[in-house]
A and B are shown apart, each in its own frame.
Chain A
Amino acid sequence: MSISLAAQINSILAALILLTAFGLLVQRRIYGLLHLFAWQGLFLSISTAVVGFVAEKHHLYISSLITLVLKVIVLPYILHVLIMRLKIHREIETVVNVPITMLIGIALVIFSYSLTSPIRELSTHVTKSTIAVALATVLLGLLMMITRRHAVTQIIGFLSMENGLFFAATSATYGMPLVVELGVGLDILIAAFIFGIFFFHINTAFDSLDVEQMARLKEED
Protein backbone atom coordinates (compact mmCIF):
# COMPACT_ATOMS: atom_id res chain seq x y z
CA MET A 1 0.00 0.00 0.00
CA SER A 2 1.53 3.27 -1.10
CA ILE A 3 1.51 6.48 0.93
CA SER A 4 -0.86 8.32 -1.43
CA LEU A 5 -3.37 5.45 -1.38
CA ALA A 6 -3.20 5.42 2.42
CA ALA A 7 -3.83 9.17 2.44
CA GLN A 8 -6.86 8.66 0.17
CA ILE A 9 -8.22 5.93 2.44
CA ASN A 10 -7.67 8.20 5.41
CA SER A 11 -9.61 11.03 3.79
CA ILE A 12 -12.46 8.64 2.94
CA LEU A 13 -12.51 7.61 6.62
CA ALA A 14 -12.47 11.28 7.65
CA ALA A 15 -15.47 11.87 5.41
CA LEU A 16 -17.25 8.92 7.01
CA ILE A 17 -16.50 10.26 10.50
CA LEU A 18 -17.96 13.60 9.47
CA LEU A 19 -21.01 11.81 8.04
CA THR A 20 -21.61 9.90 11.27
CA ALA A 21 -21.26 13.15 13.22
CA PHE A 22 -24.07 14.64 11.10
CA GLY A 23 -26.03 11.42 11.51
CA LEU A 24 -25.79 11.74 15.29
CA LEU A 25 -27.07 15.29 14.99
CA VAL A 26 -30.33 14.30 13.28
CA GLN A 27 -31.03 10.73 14.47
CA ARG A 28 -34.21 10.44 16.53
CA ARG A 29 -34.03 6.91 17.89
CA ILE A 30 -31.77 6.17 20.82
CA TYR A 31 -30.59 2.82 19.44
CA GLY A 32 -29.87 4.47 16.12
CA LEU A 33 -27.66 6.94 17.97
CA LEU A 34 -25.78 4.14 19.70
CA HIS A 35 -25.15 2.34 16.40
CA LEU A 36 -23.95 5.55 14.75
CA PHE A 37 -21.64 6.22 17.69
CA ALA A 38 -20.18 2.72 17.41
CA TRP A 39 -19.64 3.19 13.66
CA GLN A 40 -17.87 6.48 14.31
CA GLY A 41 -15.56 4.71 16.76
CA LEU A 42 -14.87 1.99 14.19
CA PHE A 43 -13.94 4.50 11.47
CA LEU A 44 -11.78 6.36 13.98
CA SER A 45 -10.00 3.16 14.94
CA ILE A 46 -9.30 2.17 11.31
CA SER A 47 -8.14 5.71 10.54
CA THR A 48 -5.75 5.63 13.50
CA ALA A 49 -4.28 2.36 12.28
CA VAL A 50 -3.86 3.80 8.76
CA VAL A 51 -2.13 6.90 10.15
CA GLY A 52 0.08 4.61 12.23
CA PHE A 53 1.03 2.74 9.08
CA VAL A 54 1.77 5.92 7.11
CA ALA A 55 3.75 7.61 9.87
CA GLU A 56 5.41 4.37 11.01
CA LYS A 57 4.45 5.15 14.59
CA HIS A 58 3.74 1.74 16.04
CA HIS A 59 2.18 2.96 19.26
CA LEU A 60 -0.73 4.18 17.13
CA TYR A 61 -1.66 0.55 16.51
CA ILE A 62 -2.13 0.15 20.26
CA SER A 63 -4.26 3.28 20.52
CA SER A 64 -6.26 2.06 17.52
CA LEU A 65 -6.88 -1.18 19.40
CA ILE A 66 -7.85 0.74 22.56
CA THR A 67 -10.31 2.81 20.48
CA LEU A 68 -11.75 -0.34 18.97
CA VAL A 69 -12.30 -2.04 22.31
CA LEU A 70 -13.45 1.03 24.21
CA LYS A 71 -15.53 3.03 21.75
CA VAL A 72 -16.91 0.30 19.53
CA ILE A 73 -17.60 -2.40 22.13
CA VAL A 74 -17.41 -1.33 25.78
CA LEU A 75 -18.99 2.15 25.78
CA PRO A 76 -21.91 1.27 23.47
CA TYR A 77 -22.46 -1.85 25.57
CA ILE A 78 -22.54 0.14 28.83
CA LEU A 79 -24.96 2.66 27.32
CA HIS A 80 -27.03 -0.19 25.91
CA VAL A 81 -27.34 -1.78 29.35
CA LEU A 82 -28.21 1.60 30.86
CA ILE A 83 -30.93 2.19 28.27
CA MET A 84 -32.38 -1.28 28.93
CA ARG A 85 -32.29 -0.85 32.71
CA LEU A 86 -33.88 2.59 32.60
CA LYS A 87 -36.49 1.34 30.09
CA ILE A 88 -36.00 4.23 27.71
CA HIS A 89 -35.18 2.10 24.66
CA ARG A 90 -38.46 2.84 22.88
CA GLU A 91 -38.21 6.57 23.27
CA ILE A 92 -38.08 8.76 20.21
CA GLU A 93 -36.77 12.18 20.97
CA THR A 94 -38.08 15.30 19.34
CA VAL A 95 -35.22 17.07 17.68
CA VAL A 96 -35.51 20.81 17.29
CA ASN A 97 -35.97 21.62 13.60
CA VAL A 98 -33.70 19.22 11.71
CA PRO A 99 -33.04 21.36 8.59
CA ILE A 100 -31.92 24.37 10.69
CA THR A 101 -29.64 22.13 12.77
CA MET A 102 -28.15 20.73 9.57
CA LEU A 103 -27.51 24.22 8.20
CA ILE A 104 -25.83 25.27 11.44
CA GLY A 105 -23.75 22.09 11.19
CA ILE A 106 -22.65 22.95 7.65
CA ALA A 107 -21.74 26.47 8.83
CA LEU A 108 -19.65 24.91 11.62
CA VAL A 109 -17.81 22.74 9.09
CA ILE A 110 -16.97 25.79 6.97
CA PHE A 111 -15.91 27.70 10.11
CA SER A 112 -13.57 24.93 11.24
CA TYR A 113 -12.14 24.68 7.72
CA SER A 114 -11.19 28.35 7.72
CA LEU A 115 -10.00 28.18 11.33
CA THR A 116 -7.58 25.33 10.68
CA SER A 117 -6.18 26.71 7.43
CA PRO A 118 -3.03 28.19 9.10
CA ILE A 119 -2.26 24.82 10.69
CA ARG A 120 -2.72 23.16 7.33
CA GLU A 121 -0.26 25.58 5.75
CA LEU A 122 2.41 24.82 8.35
CA SER A 123 1.91 21.10 8.73
CA THR A 124 3.98 18.67 6.69
CA HIS A 125 2.01 15.57 7.67
CA VAL A 126 0.08 13.42 5.22
CA THR A 127 -2.96 13.82 7.45
CA LYS A 128 -2.99 17.63 7.46
CA SER A 129 -6.21 17.83 5.43
CA THR A 130 -8.22 15.93 8.04
CA ILE A 131 -7.61 18.45 10.86
CA ALA A 132 -10.59 20.51 9.69
CA VAL A 133 -12.81 17.43 9.85
CA ALA A 134 -11.58 16.65 13.36
CA LEU A 135 -12.38 20.15 14.60
CA ALA A 136 -15.76 20.01 12.86
CA THR A 137 -16.52 16.72 14.65
CA VAL A 138 -15.78 18.37 18.00
CA LEU A 139 -18.03 21.33 17.18
CA LEU A 140 -20.82 19.07 15.89
CA GLY A 141 -20.69 17.08 19.13
CA LEU A 142 -20.99 20.35 21.03
CA LEU A 143 -23.94 21.39 18.84
CA MET A 144 -25.56 18.04 19.57
CA MET A 145 -25.19 18.60 23.32
CA ILE A 146 -26.84 22.00 22.94
CA THR A 147 -29.78 20.99 20.74
CA ARG A 148 -30.75 17.77 22.54
CA ARG A 149 -32.76 17.58 25.73
CA HIS A 150 -32.30 13.98 26.68
CA ALA A 151 -29.45 13.18 29.08
CA VAL A 152 -28.36 10.03 27.20
CA THR A 153 -28.14 11.85 23.86
CA GLN A 154 -26.14 14.63 25.49
CA ILE A 155 -23.68 12.04 26.77
CA ILE A 156 -23.38 10.54 23.28
CA GLY A 157 -22.69 14.06 22.02
CA PHE A 158 -19.99 14.42 24.64
CA LEU A 159 -18.40 11.11 23.67
CA SER A 160 -18.47 12.05 19.99
CA MET A 161 -16.69 15.30 20.92
CA GLU A 162 -14.01 13.16 22.53
CA ASN A 163 -13.80 11.15 19.29
CA GLY A 164 -13.21 14.40 17.45
CA LEU A 165 -10.42 15.43 19.83
CA PHE A 166 -8.75 12.03 19.45
CA PHE A 167 -8.99 12.36 15.67
CA ALA A 168 -7.54 15.87 15.86
CA ALA A 169 -4.59 14.55 17.87
CA THR A 170 -3.81 11.79 15.36
CA SER A 171 -4.18 14.02 12.32
CA ALA A 172 -2.35 17.09 13.65
CA THR A 173 0.55 15.47 15.49
CA TYR A 174 0.41 11.75 14.65
CA GLY A 175 -1.11 11.01 18.02
CA MET A 176 -0.42 11.87 21.62
CA PRO A 177 2.08 9.84 23.68
CA LEU A 178 0.71 6.45 24.62
CA VAL A 179 0.57 7.33 28.33
CA VAL A 180 -1.74 10.27 27.64
CA GLU A 181 -3.99 8.19 25.42
CA LEU A 182 -4.23 5.43 28.01
CA GLY A 183 -5.14 8.03 30.60
CA VAL A 184 -7.82 9.58 28.42
CA GLY A 185 -9.23 6.15 27.61
CA LEU A 186 -9.47 5.31 31.30
CA ASP A 187 -11.06 8.69 32.03
CA ILE A 188 -13.73 8.11 29.40
CA LEU A 189 -14.47 4.69 30.87
CA ILE A 190 -14.78 6.10 34.40
CA ALA A 191 -16.91 8.96 33.05
CA ALA A 192 -19.28 6.44 31.47
CA PHE A 193 -19.75 4.73 34.85
CA ILE A 194 -20.32 8.04 36.62
CA PHE A 195 -22.83 9.07 33.94
CA GLY A 196 -24.60 5.79 34.54
CA ILE A 197 -24.94 6.53 38.26
CA PHE A 198 -26.15 10.05 37.47
CA PHE A 199 -28.74 8.71 35.04
CA PHE A 200 -30.15 6.43 37.73
CA HIS A 201 -30.40 9.32 40.14
CA ILE A 202 -31.96 11.70 37.61
CA ASN A 203 -34.38 8.99 36.58
CA THR A 204 -35.48 8.20 40.13
CA ALA A 205 -35.82 11.88 41.03
CA PHE A 206 -37.74 13.06 37.96
CA ASP A 207 -39.08 9.84 36.40
CA SER A 208 -37.56 10.99 33.12
CA LEU A 209 -34.17 11.73 31.60
CA ASP A 210 -35.34 14.96 30.02
CA VAL A 211 -32.98 17.61 31.38
CA GLU A 212 -35.64 20.31 30.87
CA GLN A 213 -37.14 18.90 34.06
CA MET A 214 -34.15 20.23 35.96
CA ALA A 215 -35.51 23.73 35.48
CA ARG A 216 -37.89 22.78 38.30
CA LEU A 217 -34.93 22.60 40.68
CA LYS A 218 -35.46 26.03 42.13
CA GLU A 219 -37.11 27.49 45.15
CA GLU A 220 -40.71 28.59 45.05
CA ASP A 221 -41.18 32.33 44.79
Chain B
Amino acid sequence: MSEIFPYILDGLQIVILLFAAPVFAGWVKTLKCWFQGRTTAGVLQPYRDLTKLFHKDIVLAENASWVFRFTPYAVFGSVVLAGGIIPILSVDLPLSATADIIALISLFTIARFFTALAGMDIGTAFGGMGASREKTIASVAEPAMLMAIFTVSLVCKSTSLSQMVQVIAHGEFILRPSLAFALLAFALIALAETGRVPVDNPATHLELTMIHEGMILEYSGRHLALIEWAGMMKLFLFAALGIAAFFPWGIAAANDSPALFVAALSLILKLTVAGVGLVMIETGLAKMRFFRVPEFLGSAFLFATLGMLSYFMLE
Protein backbone atom coordinates (compact mmCIF):
# COMPACT_ATOMS: atom_id res chain seq x y z
CA MET B 1 0.00 0.00 0.00
CA SER B 2 2.73 2.45 0.99
CA GLU B 3 4.55 1.87 -2.31
CA ILE B 4 1.52 2.63 -4.43
CA PHE B 5 0.48 5.66 -2.37
CA PRO B 6 2.79 8.19 -4.12
CA TYR B 7 1.28 7.14 -7.46
CA ILE B 8 -2.23 7.72 -6.14
CA LEU B 9 -1.09 11.06 -4.82
CA ASP B 10 0.36 12.05 -8.19
CA GLY B 11 -2.97 11.14 -9.80
CA LEU B 12 -4.81 13.10 -7.13
CA GLN B 13 -2.61 16.10 -7.83
CA ILE B 14 -3.50 16.03 -11.52
CA VAL B 15 -7.21 15.77 -10.65
CA ILE B 16 -6.84 18.76 -8.31
CA LEU B 17 -5.07 20.65 -11.08
CA LEU B 18 -7.86 19.88 -13.57
CA PHE B 19 -10.64 21.03 -11.29
CA ALA B 20 -8.97 23.75 -9.24
CA ALA B 21 -7.50 25.63 -12.20
CA PRO B 22 -10.87 27.00 -13.45
CA VAL B 23 -11.75 28.01 -9.88
CA PHE B 24 -8.44 29.88 -9.57
CA ALA B 25 -9.03 31.58 -12.93
CA GLY B 26 -12.55 32.44 -11.75
CA TRP B 27 -11.17 33.82 -8.48
CA VAL B 28 -8.79 36.07 -10.40
CA LYS B 29 -11.62 37.29 -12.64
CA THR B 30 -13.91 37.90 -9.66
CA LEU B 31 -11.23 39.86 -7.83
CA LYS B 32 -10.59 41.89 -10.95
CA CYS B 33 -14.29 42.76 -11.14
CA TRP B 34 -14.27 43.84 -7.48
CA PHE B 35 -11.18 45.97 -8.02
CA GLN B 36 -12.74 47.67 -11.01
CA GLY B 37 -16.17 48.11 -9.45
CA ARG B 38 -18.07 45.73 -11.72
CA THR B 39 -20.52 42.99 -10.78
CA THR B 40 -19.06 39.50 -10.96
CA ALA B 41 -20.20 36.35 -12.68
CA GLY B 42 -18.98 34.26 -9.76
CA VAL B 43 -15.99 32.05 -9.15
CA LEU B 44 -17.55 29.13 -11.05
CA GLN B 45 -18.11 30.99 -14.31
CA PRO B 46 -15.11 29.35 -16.08
CA TYR B 47 -16.80 25.95 -15.54
CA ARG B 48 -19.93 27.19 -17.28
CA ASP B 49 -17.85 28.59 -20.15
CA LEU B 50 -16.02 25.30 -20.56
CA THR B 51 -19.24 23.25 -20.45
CA LYS B 52 -20.78 25.51 -23.07
CA LEU B 53 -17.76 25.13 -25.33
CA PHE B 54 -17.67 21.35 -24.93
CA HIS B 55 -21.29 21.13 -26.10
CA LYS B 56 -20.70 23.16 -29.23
CA ASP B 57 -19.74 21.78 -32.63
CA ILE B 58 -16.33 22.33 -34.14
CA VAL B 59 -15.98 24.53 -37.19
CA LEU B 60 -12.80 23.73 -39.09
CA ALA B 61 -11.29 25.83 -41.83
CA GLU B 62 -11.03 24.06 -45.19
CA ASN B 63 -7.25 24.28 -45.33
CA ALA B 64 -6.64 23.16 -41.74
CA SER B 65 -4.06 20.39 -41.58
CA TRP B 66 -3.50 17.76 -38.89
CA VAL B 67 -1.35 20.24 -36.95
CA PHE B 68 -4.38 22.40 -36.31
CA ARG B 69 -6.47 19.44 -35.07
CA PHE B 70 -3.64 17.93 -33.04
CA THR B 71 -2.57 21.12 -31.24
CA PRO B 72 -5.35 21.33 -28.60
CA TYR B 73 -4.58 17.80 -27.44
CA ALA B 74 -0.80 18.41 -27.43
CA VAL B 75 -1.21 21.62 -25.44
CA PHE B 76 -3.64 20.08 -22.98
CA GLY B 77 -1.55 16.93 -22.58
CA SER B 78 1.74 18.69 -21.96
CA VAL B 79 0.18 21.02 -19.38
CA VAL B 80 -1.48 18.10 -17.54
CA LEU B 81 1.85 16.26 -17.53
CA ALA B 82 3.52 19.35 -16.07
CA GLY B 83 0.94 19.18 -13.26
CA GLY B 84 2.31 15.79 -12.27
CA ILE B 85 5.86 17.16 -11.97
CA ILE B 86 5.35 20.30 -9.88
CA PRO B 87 4.99 19.51 -6.18
CA ILE B 88 1.59 21.07 -5.43
CA LEU B 89 0.62 19.07 -2.34
CA SER B 90 3.48 16.73 -1.60
CA VAL B 91 7.14 16.38 -2.54
CA ASP B 92 7.11 12.60 -2.84
CA LEU B 93 5.97 12.30 -6.45
CA PRO B 94 7.07 9.51 -8.83
CA LEU B 95 6.78 11.80 -11.88
CA SER B 96 8.83 14.51 -10.20
CA ALA B 97 11.71 12.08 -9.82
CA THR B 98 11.75 11.39 -13.55
CA ALA B 99 11.72 14.98 -14.77
CA ASP B 100 13.57 18.00 -13.43
CA ILE B 101 12.76 21.65 -13.87
CA ILE B 102 14.45 21.95 -17.28
CA ALA B 103 12.17 19.19 -18.58
CA LEU B 104 9.24 21.07 -17.04
CA ILE B 105 10.10 24.26 -18.91
CA SER B 106 10.48 22.34 -22.15
CA LEU B 107 6.98 20.90 -21.61
CA PHE B 108 5.63 24.44 -21.53
CA THR B 109 7.75 25.21 -24.59
CA ILE B 110 6.19 22.29 -26.50
CA ALA B 111 2.72 23.67 -25.74
CA ARG B 112 3.76 27.12 -26.93
CA PHE B 113 5.47 25.74 -30.06
CA PHE B 114 2.35 23.88 -31.14
CA THR B 115 0.11 26.86 -30.44
CA ALA B 116 2.33 29.02 -32.66
CA LEU B 117 2.32 26.36 -35.40
CA ALA B 118 -1.46 26.11 -35.27
CA GLY B 119 -1.73 29.88 -35.48
CA MET B 120 0.25 29.86 -38.70
CA ASP B 121 -1.27 26.64 -40.08
CA ILE B 122 -4.66 28.15 -40.75
CA GLY B 123 -3.17 30.92 -42.86
CA THR B 124 -5.03 33.93 -41.44
CA ALA B 125 -3.17 37.17 -40.84
CA PHE B 126 -4.02 37.33 -37.14
CA GLY B 127 -2.77 33.81 -36.50
CA GLY B 128 0.59 34.54 -38.10
CA MET B 129 0.90 37.86 -36.32
CA GLY B 130 0.07 36.28 -32.96
CA ALA B 131 2.56 33.47 -33.58
CA SER B 132 5.30 35.88 -34.53
CA ARG B 133 4.69 37.99 -31.42
CA GLU B 134 4.50 34.94 -29.18
CA LYS B 135 7.84 33.69 -30.48
CA THR B 136 9.45 37.12 -30.06
CA ILE B 137 8.41 37.15 -26.43
CA ALA B 138 9.38 33.52 -25.91
CA SER B 139 12.89 34.04 -27.25
CA VAL B 140 13.53 36.61 -24.52
CA ALA B 141 11.41 35.08 -21.75
CA GLU B 142 12.81 31.58 -21.85
CA PRO B 143 16.50 32.41 -21.21
CA ALA B 144 15.40 34.65 -18.36
CA MET B 145 13.17 31.89 -16.98
CA LEU B 146 16.02 29.38 -17.09
CA MET B 147 18.36 31.89 -15.47
CA ALA B 148 15.91 32.49 -12.60
CA ILE B 149 15.40 28.75 -12.15
CA PHE B 150 19.15 28.07 -12.23
CA THR B 151 19.61 30.58 -9.41
CA VAL B 152 17.21 28.58 -7.24
CA SER B 153 18.92 25.36 -8.33
CA LEU B 154 22.30 26.79 -7.36
CA VAL B 155 21.03 27.62 -3.89
CA CYS B 156 19.52 24.15 -3.49
CA LYS B 157 22.29 22.27 -5.35
CA SER B 158 19.75 20.39 -7.46
CA THR B 159 17.51 20.85 -10.51
CA SER B 160 14.91 18.44 -9.21
CA LEU B 161 11.87 20.35 -8.02
CA SER B 162 11.14 18.01 -5.10
CA GLN B 163 14.70 18.40 -3.89
CA MET B 164 14.51 22.19 -4.22
CA VAL B 165 11.30 22.33 -2.22
CA GLN B 166 12.76 20.15 0.50
CA VAL B 167 15.94 22.22 0.81
CA ILE B 168 14.05 25.52 1.06
CA ALA B 169 11.24 24.26 3.28
CA HIS B 170 13.28 22.22 5.73
CA GLY B 171 16.76 23.73 5.53
CA GLU B 172 18.00 26.48 7.76
CA PHE B 173 16.20 29.75 7.18
CA ILE B 174 18.64 32.26 5.67
CA LEU B 175 17.88 35.61 4.11
CA ARG B 176 19.16 35.19 0.59
CA PRO B 177 19.39 38.14 -1.82
CA SER B 178 19.81 35.67 -4.69
CA LEU B 179 16.37 34.15 -4.07
CA ALA B 180 14.80 37.60 -3.75
CA PHE B 181 16.18 38.56 -7.17
CA ALA B 182 15.11 35.23 -8.64
CA LEU B 183 11.58 35.71 -7.26
CA LEU B 184 11.36 39.16 -8.82
CA ALA B 185 12.55 37.80 -12.18
CA PHE B 186 10.17 34.86 -11.92
CA ALA B 187 7.20 37.13 -11.23
CA LEU B 188 7.93 39.26 -14.30
CA ILE B 189 8.40 36.21 -16.53
CA ALA B 190 5.32 34.46 -15.19
CA LEU B 191 3.28 37.52 -16.22
CA ALA B 192 4.69 37.24 -19.74
CA GLU B 193 4.40 33.45 -19.98
CA THR B 194 0.79 33.29 -18.86
CA GLY B 195 -0.17 36.26 -21.03
CA ARG B 196 -1.26 38.64 -18.26
CA VAL B 197 -1.70 42.39 -18.48
CA PRO B 198 1.54 44.30 -18.89
CA VAL B 199 2.50 41.96 -21.74
CA ASP B 200 -0.74 40.57 -23.17
CA ASN B 201 -4.38 41.09 -22.24
CA PRO B 202 -6.20 37.79 -21.62
CA ALA B 203 -9.62 39.41 -22.10
CA THR B 204 -8.92 41.29 -25.30
CA HIS B 205 -10.45 40.68 -28.68
CA LEU B 206 -8.95 43.80 -30.19
CA GLU B 207 -7.03 42.55 -33.19
CA LEU B 208 -4.10 44.91 -32.98
CA THR B 209 -3.03 44.04 -29.46
CA MET B 210 -3.74 40.36 -29.06
CA ILE B 211 -0.99 37.80 -28.84
CA HIS B 212 -2.32 34.54 -27.41
CA GLU B 213 -5.87 35.27 -28.58
CA GLY B 214 -4.54 35.90 -32.09
CA MET B 215 -3.17 32.39 -32.40
CA ILE B 216 -6.29 30.62 -31.19
CA LEU B 217 -8.78 32.86 -32.98
CA GLU B 218 -9.86 30.11 -35.40
CA TYR B 219 -10.58 27.49 -32.76
CA SER B 220 -14.10 26.55 -31.75
CA GLY B 221 -16.03 23.93 -29.81
CA ARG B 222 -14.12 21.40 -27.77
CA HIS B 223 -10.78 22.41 -29.31
CA LEU B 224 -11.22 25.90 -27.92
CA ALA B 225 -12.42 24.44 -24.61
CA LEU B 226 -9.25 22.34 -24.31
CA ILE B 227 -7.01 25.31 -25.11
CA GLU B 228 -8.84 27.60 -22.69
CA TRP B 229 -8.68 24.94 -20.00
CA ALA B 230 -4.96 24.46 -20.64
CA GLY B 231 -4.50 28.23 -20.36
CA MET B 232 -6.20 28.26 -16.94
CA MET B 233 -4.07 25.31 -15.84
CA LYS B 234 -0.94 27.10 -17.02
CA LEU B 235 -1.83 30.08 -14.84
CA PHE B 236 -2.48 27.75 -11.91
CA LEU B 237 0.78 25.89 -12.52
CA PHE B 238 2.89 29.04 -12.67
CA ALA B 239 1.37 30.14 -9.37
CA ALA B 240 2.06 26.66 -7.97
CA LEU B 241 5.62 26.67 -9.34
CA GLY B 242 6.31 30.06 -7.76
CA ILE B 243 4.89 28.83 -4.47
CA ALA B 244 6.91 25.60 -4.64
CA ALA B 245 10.20 27.32 -5.48
CA PHE B 246 9.96 30.35 -3.19
CA PHE B 247 7.30 29.78 -0.48
CA PRO B 248 7.13 26.02 0.01
CA TRP B 249 6.43 26.12 3.76
CA GLY B 250 3.52 23.87 4.66
CA ILE B 251 3.91 21.37 1.84
CA ALA B 252 3.65 17.72 2.89
CA ALA B 253 7.00 16.00 3.28
CA ALA B 254 5.58 12.63 4.26
CA ASN B 255 2.49 11.15 2.70
CA ASP B 256 0.15 10.94 5.66
CA SER B 257 -3.29 12.46 5.76
CA PRO B 258 -2.75 15.19 8.42
CA ALA B 259 0.26 16.56 6.52
CA LEU B 260 -1.70 16.47 3.27
CA PHE B 261 -4.60 18.28 4.91
CA VAL B 262 -2.27 21.03 6.14
CA ALA B 263 -0.66 21.18 2.68
CA ALA B 264 -4.06 21.58 1.00
CA LEU B 265 -5.07 24.35 3.40
CA SER B 266 -1.81 26.26 2.97
CA LEU B 267 -2.05 25.83 -0.82
CA ILE B 268 -5.53 27.39 -0.84
CA LEU B 269 -4.32 30.24 1.34
CA LYS B 270 -1.24 30.92 -0.79
CA LEU B 271 -3.19 30.75 -4.06
CA THR B 272 -5.76 33.20 -2.69
CA VAL B 273 -2.98 35.63 -1.84
CA ALA B 274 -1.26 35.01 -5.21
CA GLY B 275 -4.53 35.88 -6.95
CA VAL B 276 -4.76 39.16 -5.04
CA GLY B 277 -1.17 39.99 -5.99
CA LEU B 278 -1.79 39.20 -9.66
CA VAL B 279 -4.94 41.32 -9.78
CA MET B 280 -3.21 44.23 -8.07
CA ILE B 281 -0.49 44.13 -10.74
CA GLU B 282 -3.01 43.77 -13.54
CA THR B 283 -5.25 46.58 -12.32
CA GLY B 284 -2.37 48.90 -11.49
CA LEU B 285 -0.52 48.63 -14.79
CA ALA B 286 -1.52 49.39 -18.34
CA LYS B 287 -0.67 47.03 -21.15
CA MET B 288 2.67 48.12 -22.52
CA ARG B 289 3.58 48.72 -26.13
CA PHE B 290 4.77 45.57 -27.81
CA PHE B 291 8.22 46.96 -28.52
CA ARG B 292 8.66 47.71 -24.84
CA VAL B 293 8.16 44.04 -23.97
CA PRO B 294 11.74 42.94 -24.77
CA GLU B 295 12.93 45.69 -22.42
CA PHE B 296 10.57 44.45 -19.71
CA LEU B 297 11.81 40.90 -20.15
CA GLY B 298 15.38 42.17 -20.44
CA SER B 299 15.04 43.58 -16.94
CA ALA B 300 13.72 40.18 -15.81
CA PHE B 301 16.88 38.66 -17.30
CA LEU B 302 18.92 41.30 -15.46
CA PHE B 303 17.27 40.43 -12.13
CA ALA B 304 17.86 36.72 -12.70
CA THR B 305 21.52 37.32 -13.57
CA LEU B 306 21.98 39.58 -10.56
CA GLY B 307 20.46 36.84 -8.44
CA MET B 308 22.95 34.34 -9.75
CA LEU B 309 25.84 36.78 -9.30
CA SER B 310 24.79 37.69 -5.78
CA TYR B 311 24.73 33.99 -4.92
CA PHE B 312 28.45 33.91 -5.70
CA MET B 313 29.26 37.37 -4.37
CA LEU B 314 27.22 37.68 -1.21
CA GLU B 315 26.54 34.17 0.09
Contact = CB atoms under 8 A, between A and B. Distances in A.
A99 B297 CA distance: 10
B294 A18 contact: no
Contacts of B309: 106, 109-110, 113
Contact of A130 (B174, B180, B302, B314): B314
Interface stretch (A7-15, A141-149, A199-207): A7-15
Contact of B174 (A8, A16, A18): A8
Contacts of B312: 113
A8 B315 CA distance: 8
A49 to B, nearest CB: 17
In the A-B complex, the 4 residue pairs with the closest CB atoms:
A15-B177, A11-B314, A8-B175, A99-B298
B310 A22 contact: no
B306 A14 contact: no
A120 B149 CA distance: 28
A15 B299 contact: no
Contacts of B298: 98-99, 102
A129 B309 CA distance: 12
Given A98-B298, A102-B302, A15 B181 contact: yes
A26 interface: yes
B313 A22 contact: no
A102 B310 CA distance: 16
Contacts of B177: 11-12, 14-16
B302 A18 contact: no
Contacts of A15: 177, 180-181, 306, 310, 314
A81 interface: no
A22 B306 contact: yes
Contacts of B181: 15, 19
Contacts of B176: 8
Main secondary structure on chain A at its contact with chain B?
helix
Interface residues of A, number: 24
Contacts of A129: 313-315
Interface in A76-96: none
A11 B315 contact: yes
A9 B175 contact: yes
A113 to B, nearest CB: 5
Chain B interface size, as a band, is: 10 to 19
Contacts of B313: 109, 113, 129, 132-133
Interface in A1-44: 5, 8-9, 11-12, 14-16, 18-19, 22, 26
A22 to B, nearest CB: 6
Nearest to A19: B306
Nearest to A98: B295
Q: Which of B175, B299, B302, B313 has the most CB of A within 10 A?
A: B313
Contacts of B175: 5, 8-9, 11-12
Contacts of A98: 295, 298
B299 A26 contact: yes
Interface in B289-314: 294-295, 298-299, 302, 305-306, 309-310, 312-314
A105 B314 CA distance: 18
A102 B299 contact: yes
Nearest to A105: B302
Contacts of A99: 294-295, 298
Contacts of A14: 177, 310, 314
Given A8-B175, A12-B175, A133-B314, A18 B306 contact: yes
Contacts of B180: 12, 15
B310 A106 contact: no
A45 B305 CA distance: 26
A66 B314 CA distance: 26
Contacts of A11: 175, 177, 310, 314-315
A9 B174 CA distance: 10
A9 B176 CA distance: 9
B184 to A, nearest CB: 9
A8 B309 CA distance: 16
Interface in A110-139: 110, 113, 129-130, 132-133
A102 B302 CA distance: 7
A194 B212 CA distance: 54
A102 B144 CA distance: 14
Q: Which of A15, A102, A106, A109 has the most CB of B within 10 A?
A: A15
A26 B309 CA distance: 19
Nearest to B177: A15
A73 B69 CA distance: 63
B309 to A, nearest CB: 6
Nearest to B178: A15
B144 to A, nearest CB: 12
Given A8-B175, A9-B175, A12-B180, A18 B310 contact: yes
Nearest to B302: A102
A99 B116 CA distance: 26
